[in-house]
Structure 1
């Protein structure tokens, strides 16, 4: 890369509000979200709605998929690191795993999450609550490197049971999950 091009590229990053000190990985791209906060033209709902993909000026679906890690804030580089990848680490025939409420437990380097509630294939909803599960990040990295086929997905029992968990966070050394409840008889709870 010529030095003049490097200066132009750096200038573009600084101008976009992202003072990226680290090098952007090859699978990532910087997104200047301020450039499309106000669009010159907005398509009518018949052409742009919940069934269409929002593509702001200057990008294509292909360009976004080719570099799937989109950096809206330079602190995201700390999250994705220097070599991010998209890797399928586990599958399930019936349970809709990896839905939401993702919480990293740093002492054991595990990630907790919940499956989807209400999916007909899993039988969740009014008759069965979704569940809390966890994986080891060490196993996830082994899958990423091709040393393991899938991670072990472990069901985490909760007492009292969290009914249809759908949110979670670290709080004072513990993990707190929010439950959406179940029908008219079981209210939402933490």
Structure 2
């Protein structure tokens, strides 16, 4: 379908809520005939809803990690994990006793959550497998690259072959919660069956979100170097999603044909998710931006102050994190993500 201008498409969709901004008529197939956006949970005491957004379908629950903040009791910088019962009337939440050191991104795995843990000054970061049920037992899966500690693992995705692909920027060092980096800003692949870990992509300022296409022939990785990590920004640095072809050589995957996939107009593309048709979604400065497989901006789910991450639920639901709020968007009931 030919791309239409924003104004032309908006004129054809004036019945839609203002939170849904149409840039291409194909977005109408994604949001359906009755899209809706509502706040389902709010907590202004601290930024509880920042990252991860791991949806567990068996319990209709959502695990989210907070932004870094100073605990009023301990006076220490901390990140807490909250479990949210998203479809229970009313929506409820509880802070869980997580032992994950500074958790950030996460993904469904083995009935629980595979966390990307940034680590602290005294604890190594890495990938941790955590149970989705109390007492939320966790176990370190991998924490170093042949003896060199990872910087501060940011996000992780699980491939169909069981391997873990994850990004490792130096954000935690810039925030003063990790020692001086021992590795470049890179992307890794870890095979839990062989324990092999290797660099799968480099050349990033700050590698961040990562996601596969439905057929896993393409991987999308965002570079969010526009945000340095110490509170400063440099608008000349990347705020870009790159696409790579996954090529098999001698039985092992390599990333080839690096290319710019998309760049949002507002903020950085943080968390990345892909739906069943291959459309790419990213948490950006103005909300969730959605692009076609060909990199055409289809539309946006507008959220004031943007979002770092989000996740798909059942029946076209999407849960959007907004620091002190969690939104639920109702899209076309046929829309679903590729992570569960």
Structure possessing the higher radius of gyration over alpha carbons: 1
Higher strand share: 2
Higher helix share: 1
| TM-score, length-scaled by structure 2 | 0.29
| TM-score, length-scaled by structure 1 | 0.49
Greater RCO (CA < 8 Å, at least 6 residues apart): 2
